[in-house]
Amino acid sequence: MFFPTALRPRYAKWLIATGLFLMLGGCVDKPNTLERVKEDGVLRVITRNSPATYFQDRSGETGFEYELVKRFADDLGVELKIETADNLDDLFDQIGKPNGPVLAAAGLVSSEDRKKQVRFSHAYLEVTPQIIYRNGQSRPTDPGDLVGKKIMVLKGSTHAEQLAELKKKFPGIEYEESDAVEVVDLLRMVDEGQIDLTLVDSNEVAMNQVYFTNIRVAFDLGDARSQSWAVAAGEDNSLLNEINAYLDKVQKNGTLQRLKDRYYGHVDVLGYMGATTFAQHLQQRLPKYEQHFKNYAKKEKVDWRLLAAIGYQESLWQPAVTSKTGVRGLMMLTQNTAQAMGVSNRLDPKQSIMGGAKYLAYMKDQLDDSIKEPDRTWFALAAYNVGSGHLDDARKLTAKEGLNPDKWLDVKKILPRLSQKQWYSKTRYGYARGGEPVHFVANIRRYYDILTWVTQPQLEGDQVAEGNLHVPGIDKSKPAQEPAPL
């Protein structure tokens, strides 16, 4: 190509500048995953729709995994966007796709096969795989007893991997993997006798046993394993490092333990017999008083299911009971409390529920402003049981021990000391049966959780079988605005 002599220096400079621009442009690093999340202002997370991970009740989104990952998004200062996978294979396929989820928070257990697909975070929960059978059937006691049984597990699960390994030693073991069910469906199928056995993790068994009163744990299949979050495979550690730092922090500051306590710390309160009895009472007794619970709870701005849980703990929803100490009625009010709340007849269930609702609201209002939810609800329940004076004594002892007097997790450790002279002699209000409010709150929390589940709408189609009780599912409609204690 020919250029006039005067243009040659200018053209040469243009070539040099263009070359430098292209070279520098090639050196600019693309934003890493963490930077993209912060720039977009959104953390996209994929999970499972189950009681132990993520679901929606009338107050909105909730679940152990949801609450843990929501706090992580808040720490990053970004919005959390949740999507649910149809099955585990789909969940792993979606991680890291363009404009897709960057994190899976779904109660996942690491395995060699899974490590080929994703990278796992630090652990946050220990669970044990358990063989589940139906009460009344022959109880399996070791892997050899699985031969000849009808077994189903989640497709793509580590439980399927475990059974595949067992089959090498016991070729007679046959099992089906299904991507059309969730853990809650597997437990229901055992409960109803549709399958003989399933294999699920201990935390899911504990959360669901009250809905399926025929299921039993046969034996643990292997040692405890760790649940972790997962991110896409590759060399970009930016998000994984941030996740690990967050999980280490919530482990250290007590947040993780409080979530474990909220979801798993009280799962053994009922036991199998208690679960069966409660299921019967839900059908036979609660309908008589449900509307009273709803009416007075709405008036006092408390959750009706919490109020109903108190009623069950106090009287098993029986309006005419009287204790040895003289408290009476469905909400077991003392004479003084009844008078203060405007109750003239404690044996009238409507009046009793009205008095209980007013008293709970009153106890909540009396608490220090420094106590925030959900702890505020647990403190109000404790005060309902033991009195605000004794609760104040316990909080002061808690502070002296260097613990947080505004956290139920800390105060409930100290409350039993109120029955020991070396401790109650140092308090203003003296002796109290301090262990009682701890059990009282634990029981009510469990009843409340169950009532929350069974008042959810059924899923459409055959995903959930019809039965006497509703089972956990996600309500796709917009949640109603209803005061909740959590």
Catalytic residue positions? 314
> Would you put residue 125 in left (φ > 0), alpha (ψ -120 to 50) or beta?
beta
Quick one: how far is CA 195 from the chain centroid? 27
Beta strands in 129-168 (DSSP E): 129-134, 151-154
DSSP label of 322: B
CA gap 108, 196 in Å, rounded: 25
Determine contact, residues 213/275, Cβ cutoff 8 Å. Answer: yes
Q: Spell out the residues 6+ positions from residue 62 whose beta carbon is closer than 8 angstroms to its own.
A: 54, 55, 56, 486
Three-point CA angle 383, 389, 392, nearest 5°: 85
Which H or E run contains 257?
Answer: helix 255-263
Dihedral over alpha carbons 401, 406, 408, 414 (to 10 degrees): 20
Quick one: how far is CA 284 from the chain centroid? 28
Lookup result for tokens 């189609």: 461
Q: Spell out the residues 6+ positions from residue 374 whose beta carbon is closer than 8 angstroms to its own.
A: 262, 485, 486
Which H or E run contains 424?
Answer: helix 421-424
